[in-house]
């Protein structure tokens, strides 16, 4: 599809896949807290799963756009996706900290 000797779209896809894997692992770790802290970690686990699905759904579009941009010589970063994912990761970490520090143990 493109003549990029550095395979930038593939490297970007791998980076998004690592982010996806980290979210899935965090979601699984939240499930471990359900017996101690009730339903809140279950909600966090569901939210991380939804975020992972959003990343998967957007990845094909981002790959095609990046490949076309490299072919045409005009490409730009997907600032909204990066900012949204960064915000979601920070909020997930804050929620996990809330579970560990502030929620009462049952």
pLDDT digits (tens, 9 = 90+) for 20-60: 888 889 889 899 988 888 888 899 899 888 988 888 888 87
Domains: count for the chain: 1
Which DSSP letter does residue 103 get?
S
Confidence of residue 12 (pLDDT cuts 50, 70, 90): confident
61 in any annotated domain:
yes
Contacts of 37 (CB under 8 A, 6+ apart): 99, 103, 104, 105, 106
42 in any annotated domain:
yes
**Where in the sequence is the domain holding 57, given as residue range(s)?**
8-98
Burial letters 6-16, b for 16+ CB under 10 A, else e: eeebeebbeeb
Query: What's residue 45's pLDDT?
Result: 92
35 in any annotated domain:
yes
pLDDT tens-digit readout, 57-106: 888 787 788 777 777 777 777 788 888 888 888 888 888 888 888 877 77
């Amino acid at each position: 599809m493109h003549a990029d000797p550095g395979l930038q779209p593939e490297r970007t896809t791998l980076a998004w896949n690592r982010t996806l894997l980290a979210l899935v692992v965090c979601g699984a770790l939240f499930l471990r807290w359900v017996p101690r802290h009730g339903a809140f970690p279950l909600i966090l686990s569901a939210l991380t799963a939804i975020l992972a699905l959003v990343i998967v759904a957007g990845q094909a579009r981002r790959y095609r756009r990046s490949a076309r941009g490299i072919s045409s010589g005009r490409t730009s970063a997907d600032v909204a996706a990066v900012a949204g994912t960064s915000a979601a990761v920070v909020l997930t970490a804050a929620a996990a900290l809330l579970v560990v520090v502030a929620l009462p143990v049952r």
